[in-house]
Amino acid sequence: MRPGWLFRWLFKPLLFVACLLPFALLVRGAVLDDLGPNPLETVTHVTGDWALRFLLITLAMTPLRRLLGQAWPLRLRRLLGLYAFFYATVHLLIWTVLDQELRWTSMWEDIAKRPYVTVGFTAWLLLVPLALTSTRAAMRRLGRRWARLHRLVYPMAALGVLHFWWLVKADWLEPGLYGLVLASLILSRLDLRSRFVRQLSRESPG
């Protein structure tokens, strides 16, 4: 049995199901009325957490490829990135439908007045074009512009961490850890680029 077959037809479907598990557990908790004393706060927190986690895991795929010397981490980026978009969208829908009850005037006032809402909404807006252009067809059509567009993921992730940091009242440990992970991933990326430039300089005839 070829390793490529196992990856495509076994590992990726298993990963797809595993990524859906946090959402399934929330649905189960809602059905069984087992989401704690404040169900709205629970579902808002859990979906926001997983949006940020999947985003950071997506960003980790390139350094992981370099570390392992294998190409398979890059083949998971699209799936993981789309799950980041899925959880971020559910997070937004919970706020708009359950928290704000579709009161559009109240929502726009909230976005304008509360900085963490503004930052979170901006992060989601930046994620939309990345999700819409995640297909191979969009990659071919956009060419080099695709890579430039998808660099938005870094400021978007920074806004996501800032949104979480601003939201918590006192316990900054969790958003602080996300911030450290993001900073490490960005530094890793910068190091990768500087190595690439040095290699090009050495290979240049003069």
Check if the beta carbon of residue 119 is closer than 8 Å to that of residue 164: no
Tokens of 172: 């900054």
pLDDT of 1 strictly over 60:
no
pLDDT of residue 9: 85
Q: What is the DSSP string of the chain?
A: --HHHHIIIIIHHHHHHHHHHHHHHHHHHHHTT-S-S-HHHHHHHHHHHHHHHHHHHHHHHHHHHHHHT-SGGGGGHHHHHHHHHHHHHHHHHIIIIIISTT-HHHHHHHHHH-HHHHHHHHHHHHHHHHHHT-SHHHHHHHTHHHHHHHTTHHHHHHHHHHHHHHH-SS--HHHHHHHHHHHHHHHHHHHHHHHHHHHHHHHS--
- pLDDT above 70 covers a percentage of the chain that reads 90
pLDDT in tens, 26-45: 999 999 999 999 999 999 99
Mean pLDDT of the chain: 90
pLDDT of 202 strictly over 80:
no
pLDDT in tens, 141-174: 999 899 989 989 999 999 999 999 998 867 889 9
pLDDT of residue 178: 96
pLDDT of 206 strictly over 50:
no
pLDDT of residue 19: 97
CA pair distance 190, 192, nearest whole angstrom = 5
171 — phi, psi (to 5°)?
A: -85, 95
pLDDT in tens, 97-106: 999 999 999 9
